[in-house]
Structures are given as C-alpha cells and as structure tokens.
Chains A and B, each alone.
Chain A
Amino acid sequence: MSPKNRITPYAFIAPYLIAFGCLWLIPIIYSFSMSFFNTRARPWKFDMLHNWGRLFEDALFLATLKNTFLIILVQVPFMLALAVIFAVFLNSKLLFLKGIYRFAIFAPIVVADAAYAVIFRLLFNDDFGFVNQLLNAVGIADIAWTGSSAGAIALISISLTWRWTGYNAVIILAGLQSIPKDIYEASELDGASRFTQFLYITLPNLKPVILLCLVLSTFGTLQLFTEPTLLTEGGPGVSTTTVAMYMYQQGFKSFNFGYGSAIAYFIVFIGLGLSLIQFKLLGSKSDA
C-alpha cells in the first residue's frame, strides 16, 4: 500500500461507515434498548422484563415459534438433501442437456417472493387449483392445502423448496467444483464405485459448504415473512404464522415497538444459537 496516505482509506470507506452507522449500528443498539422499554406507556418506560418476560408467557408467540421451528426441522434438511442431489447430478458427466436443467432449477432464484407466493396460492387452491385437479385425475381426493394446518405447513414447505433449492444448489455446485479432480481419479483407480466416492469423497469435502447453506437457510427461515403472508395469511388459525409475521403484527399493527424488538432480538439470538449448534454438530473447523 502507499504509505504516508493516512486519510485516503477513510475517505474510501466513509460512505459505507456513515450508512452503516445510521442504518445498522444505531438501529441495532436502539432496537436492543427498545426491547427493554414498555413502549405502550406514554412516555416509554424502562422496564427490564416487560417485553422479554412476556415472550415466554405469550402463547401466541410460542405457537409462531413452534411453526417456524417445524419448517426449520423438516423443510430445511429436505431442501438441502435435494440441493446436494441436484448439484451432484448437475455436475455429473453422465447428464446431457445440462443447460436446460440448470435453467429449470436455478430460475426460481430470480423470481420475487411475492410473485411466486401468489402463483403457488393459485396452483394449490383447495377448490380449483391445478395441483388438486392433477391429484383428482390420478384418483386422489382433494387435499386441503389452505384449509388444514398440516396442508398449510406442507404448502409453505413445498413453496420454499421450489424457490430456494436452486439457490443452495448453486452454492453446493461451486463447492463441488472446487474439489480437486485428481482425488476422484485416484479413487477410481482404487476401484471405488460412484456411490462410495459420493460417501467418502464428495460429502466430507462438501461439509463446510453444506454447513454454510444450513446456516443461511436457518437464518432465512427465521425471518420468513412474505410467503406465509401472501400464501396462507398465517392460517388456518395461526398454524402458519411465523415469528417474523408476529413481530410485524406487534410492531406495525399494534405499534408495540418494544415487544416487536424483543421478538426480533429473540430471532437473532436463536439464529446465532442454532448456527453455533450446527457448527458444533457438524464439527467443522472450516472457515466457509
């Protein structure tokens, strides 16, 4: 670097730092402190446990938490398994017409959440949706996609899987392509079958990347908002209301900023906690 040039670096980074300070740093501190205030009182009143205490007694909040976790525990692993399979297949020498498959699987990346939520709402309409019609055609009775909690959770999960599997497959594919080819060639000479190679070479080498996808997906699901809002409107009942939707309701429908902030921070801490557990469980020291 050029010496005697003490100010230049700061000039370059200043726009970001200013934006960062105003739009992240202050809000982060502000919202954290807000969570310790009773924001329903006029003026706001400091009350350490007003919001945080309420979190654990609020049956509605706990219900939304449960819904969110259900998706994290069921949909995320399924989606990542699928993403690994897609990535491995897309990377395989045996697949023809890769361009088409790549396009089909990756295209949802560019589709807006709101747009695809509306498409799926129509496709999965209980009465006249394309999916139920298809099921009827093969002799299966209508499924209550929006009318039952199980159906609604399934609907959200299917939609998320359609939208995000490709995104994760992109990351995993990049991870795959960074595995040195000669490892495979060496193991081929040792007589390893494709499946053995997958188990003992591909998966271990992909671990950091899969972990990264897991963490990203967990954070993403914790913030899930658009899809349930537009697909099921959180229903039936509150069976697909997520924590993020509940935060929105508390913050901007009931204008209880303090409680909303407590919920938001709860999401942050849970996210950090979960990713920590995931790092531990998968035992990766990688820096991915």
Chain B
Amino acid sequence: MANVDIKELRKNYGALDVIKGINLSIREKEFTCFLGPSGCGKSTLLRMIAGLEDIDEGTLAIGNKVMNDVPAAKRNISMVFQSYALYPHMTVRQNMEFGLKLLKLPKEEIELRISETAQILQLTPYLDRLPKQLSGGQRQRVAIGRAIVKRPQVFLLDEPLSNLDAALRVSMRVELARLHEELDATMIYVTHDQIEAMTLADRVVVMRDGQIEQVGTPLELLHSPKNLFVAQFIGSPKINSFDVEVVGNHGTQVTVTGQAFSKPLTVEMANAANLSSGTRLTLCLRPHRLRNDTNLEHQITGTVQLIERLGSESLIHLDIGLPDPVISSSEGTAPVRRGDQISLRFSAQNCLLFDTQGAALPRKLPADAQALMGTDAQHVA
C-alpha cells in the first residue's frame, strides 16, 4: 500500500484548463473520495493518477516515487471503470488473467490469486462465463475482481456504482466498505453521489471547476464547511441561505439581522471576529436544524407551499416572502398541510456565517457536533 502525493498538478485540453493546480496528500490505506459537480475534473484527475492522461505540470508521486513519466502499467495501480470495461470476448477468468499473464506471474500464482479473489467476491460459480451472461451487479464485481487480483498499491475507482440500480448500489456500497477493510488498501473513489462519499470515505475531496474546495472528513464537511460552495453542495436537502447584516460584534459574538428573522440572532464564533456593523453576510441553516420545537429561541414564519413526505422525514417548503422557499426537514408525521401558516424554530448556534466572498467565518461548533468530531475539531474550520 502506498500514499499518493500530488503537487501543483495541472492539465489543459487546448485552451480549456481542466485541472488548475491541485495539491493533495492521500495517506496510506486511506479511502478518499473525489466529490464534485459534473465536469469539475474528477475523472480527469483520477485518470492522471492512473496514467491515462498526461500531466502538463506538477508532480504526482505514488509511494514517494515520482510517477509523471512512468507508464500506467508500471505505476502499480488498478482502476475500476464506470462502464466496467470488461473484455466482452473473454470469460470472467480470462478477464482477471489478462493483466496477470502480462506481469509474467507463474501459473500457480495466477490460479491462486484468481480463486482467492473469486472467493472474496462470490464469483467462483461464474468464472467460466462471459460478461454478457452476468447480471449488472456480477459484472461490477468482476470489474472489481480484475482490479484486486493485481494486488496494486492503489485502487482507483471512477463512479463504479453509477450503473447499478438503487438497491444494488446500496448493497455494493456496503461490500466496498468491507473490501476496503479486508484489503487494507489505499483507495481513491470518484463519485458525484454525496451519500456514497459520506458513507465510504475516510476523507472527501470536494472539487469545483478543476480546483479543490475543501478536503476533510465527512463530518468536517458537514459541520465546518470552508466556504459557501461546500456548505451548499454537501448535505441533502440543500442548506438554507439568507442575506443578513451585522448589527453588533462583541469578541466572539456576532449579532445579525435579516428579513427572514423576527429578531436579531447572535452566533458564537470560534475566534474573536472583527466585523463592523452593516457588514453583509450570508447565514446558512441546515434543514434538519429547523424544527417545530418550542424550546428553540429563534423562529421563521411562513406559509406551507409544498410538503414532500419521504417516510421517516417530511420536507416542508415554507414561503416566507423571499424568492426562495425555506426548507425544513421535519419528522415524517408532521401534522401540517399545504397553505398552513406555521412557525419553525431553530437555535443560533447551528447557524453558519459566510462573508460576501463565500469564505466561512469559523464558528464555535455546537455541542453535538463537537462530541462527534472530537474537541479539537473546531479549529479545522
């Protein structure tokens, strides 16, 4: 297993800059997810690590060895493609053998590795079938198997589950997590499904437009997003955002008002802030922090525009006279109806503040998040 070090990596297609200077250290045995909107360069970055795309600038090191000019086959990596890319004219066994034979491994070794891998992935009964005689999930496992038999230092996976139906995706997700434990391998996993990223990854790399927006554990991304983009990209349903104005700042306490709120609210920051009155900020509040709980201090009032009943939760869209509705994630049986006039409550300590450039103002973490992430987490964001 090996660590992957990326320094100032750049790539362009003609005039189009696709990777714009990426710095990233991936630790040994870590499960890392690249997450970001479509077209942000996740696949390109992965393919540069694999050796399928040239590196225009910067360095890529795997296991502390610079790999820029090492051909893909010698980088000691394996890749699983979104489309599986199985050799259609070869049986499952031949698919797994192909690379091993090219490595000139002894026959017994090849046999051993294949039977072992087939065992792990429950593919033993299918070894002599062609890919077209397999189900989608089985094909996916063959693709993973083909990567495993090579015993690489690093596994690269590009949206490996996106071709599967929802149920299968969930079970393969669990299986991948198990595999990572079992193989104890460095894995880099591209996805635009944040649930996959949040459930699988040790650390998530959030990308936008060829750049890294934030690297952190799933919880760090949720509770201490570095900027407005990450706050809005991570979390479902999307975080609520409001324009607010600073009316007071005493040390670590920042008081703001906004059209949406009936009274000023005071947020506790991590460090003493220095904001003059009148400064414009964006305040964000996660939908699940907005509830019908009279113990909470602040409230938002509006008309119920739409209710999405998802079973265990209900998404309430509240029209508060602003262009965008406010969304609350309440319990599944919340007794509201369309057109009702209701008030929902929240606590100021769950609010996030961002300046006009979108950069986060580091806040003091609420107690529950702090408990989850450990005490030093507040300094991260």
Contact = CB atoms under 8 A, between A and B. Distances in A.
Contacts of A4: 54, 69, 71
A139 interface: no
Task: Give the interface size bracket for A toward B.
Answer: under 10
Interface of B, secondary structure class, is loop
A2 B54 CA distance: 8
Contacts of B54: 3-4
A217 to B, nearest CB: 38
Interface string A1-41: 11110000000000000000000000000000000000000
A3 B69 CA distance: 9
A3 B50 CA distance: 11
A284 B51 CA distance: 43
Nearest to B68: A4
A30 B97 CA distance: 53
B53 interface: yes
B72 interface: yes
Q: Which of A1, A2, A3 has most B Cβ within 10 Å?
A: A3
B112 interface: no
Contacts of A3: 51-54
Interface string B18-58: 00000000000000000000000000000000011110000
B69 to A, nearest CB: 7
A205 B69 CA distance: 50
A4 B52 CA distance: 10
Interface string B49-85: 0011110000000000000010110000000000000
A129 B181 CA distance: 86
Contacts of B72: 2
A4 to B, nearest CB: 7
Contacts of B53: 3
B52 A2 contact: yes
B186 to A, nearest CB: 22
Contacts of B52: 1-3
A279 B54 CA distance: 42
A239 B252 CA distance: 103
A86 to B, nearest CB: 36
A2 B70 CA distance: 12
B162 to A, nearest CB: 23
A172 B69 CA distance: 50
Contacts of A1: 52
Interface string A92-104: 0000000000000
Contacts of B69: 4
A36 B232 CA distance: 72
Nearest to A3: B54
A88 B6 CA distance: 60
Contacts of B51: 2-3
Contacts of A2: 51-52, 71-72
Interface in B317-372: none
A3 B51 CA distance: 7
A104 B54 CA distance: 55
A222 to B, nearest CB: 40
Interface string B236-250: 000000000000000
A5 to B, nearest CB: 8
Nearest to B73: A2
A58 to B, nearest CB: 52
Interface of B: 51-54, 69, 71-72
Given A2-B51, A3-B53, A4-B69, 9 more contacts: A1-B52, A2-B52, A2-B71, A2-B72, A3-B51, A3-B52, A3-B54, A4-B54, A4-B71
Interface of A: 1-4
12 contacts: A1-B52, A2-B51, A2-B52, A2-B71, A2-B72, A3-B51, A3-B52, A3-B53, A3-B54, A4-B54, A4-B69, A4-B71
